[in-house]
Amino acid sequence: MVNQKETERAIRQFAVAGRITYTNHARERLEERGIQQLDIQKALKNGQIVDARIDGSDILLSFQDSRAGTPEFYVVARIDDRVIVITVCHPSANCWEICEGFLKRSLGGL
C-alpha cells in the first residue's frame, strides 16, 4: 500500500522528469482558467501540499501554485506510471483561506 509520503515523492520525481499526463477535464480547466502546463509542473515539483484524500486505492494530493505571491491555483494529482493531473482550480473564498502565503481549507469548505 502506498502512503502519502511515497505518493508525494513519486509525484515530485515524475514532475521533474516531465512524466505528466492530463485528464481531459484537467486540460479543459487549464484552458478555461488560463493556467500554463509549465506552472502546473512547477507546482508539482515545488508546491506545498494543501490537501490529501483517498479515492479508492488512489491517494489524491493537492499542490498549491508555487510561484511567488498569493497562490492563484491548486492542482489535484495522483500517481500511476506517471503523474496524472485530475483537475486545476482557483481557490474559492468559501472553501480556502490564505495563511502566511499558503492555502488552508476554511471551516466553511468542509
Give the predicted TM-score (pTM) of the model.
0.85
Report how many domains make up the chain: 1
Residue-level pLDDT at 109: 47
Question: Residue 24 is part of a domain; what is its CATH number?
Answer: 3.30.2310.40
For 36-55, what is the mean pLDDT?
Answer: 94
Mean pLDDT of 26-30: 96
From 97, 4, 52, select the one nearest 63 (Cα to Cα): 52
| Cα 39 from Cα 17, distance rounded (Å) | 15
pLDDT one-digit tens code per residue, 50-71: 889 998 889 999 999 887 777 8
**What range does the domain containing 12 cover?**
4-109
CA distance 77 to 44: 8
How far CA 48 is from CA of 1, 22, 42, 65, 104, in Å, comes to 23, 20, 11, 8, 11
